[in-house]
Amino acid sequence: MRILVVGAGAVGGWFGGALARAGADVSFLVRGPRAARLRAEGLVLVGPADERTVLPVRVVTAEELAEPADVVLLAVKGPGLESAVEDVAKAIGPRTAVLPLLNGIRHLDVLAERFGPAAVLGGLCLVVSRLDADGAVRRLAPGASVRLGELDGRPSPRVADIVTAFDGAGFDVTGSTTIVQDMWEKWHFMAAGGATGTLLGGTAGEVTAVEGGAEVVATIIAEATAVLAAAGRPLRDDARARVEGALLTPGSGFTTSLYRDLAPGRPTEVEPILGDLVRRATALGVPVPTLAAAAVRLRVSANGAG
pLDDT in tens, 15-50: 999 999 999 999 999 988 899 999 999 999 999 888
Among the listed residues 44, 45, 12, the one whose alpha carbon sits nearest the alpha carbon of residue 30: 12
d(Cα 86, Cα 287) in Å, to the nearest integer?
A: 36
Is the model's pLDDT at 123 over the cut of 70? Answer: yes
Position 305 scores a pLDDT of 53
Rounded (5°) CA angle 190-213-197? 30
Binned at pLDDT 50, 70 and 90, residue 229 comes out as very high
Taking only Cα atoms into account, the Rg of the chain, rounded to an integer number of angstroms, comes to 19
114-128, 163-177, 259-273: lowest mean pLDDT where? 259-273
Beta strands in the chain (DSSP E): 2-6, 25-29, 43-46, 52-55, 58-60, 71-74, 97-100, 121-131, 137-150, 172-175
Give the pLDDT mean for 201-211: 97
Question: pTM to 2 decimals?
Answer: 0.94
- As beta bridge partners, residue 126 has 145
Position 264 scores a pLDDT of 87
Binned at pLDDT 50, 70 and 90, residue 266 comes out as confident
Is the model's pLDDT at 306 over the cut of 60? Answer: no
**What is residue 170's DSSP assignment?**
S
Q: Residue 218: is it exposed, middle or buried by C-beta count within 10 angstroms (0-12/13-18/19+)?
A: middle
Higher pLDDT, 106 or 305: 106
Q: CB within 8 A of 220, min separation 6: which ones? A: 192, 195, 196, 199, 247, 290, 291, 294
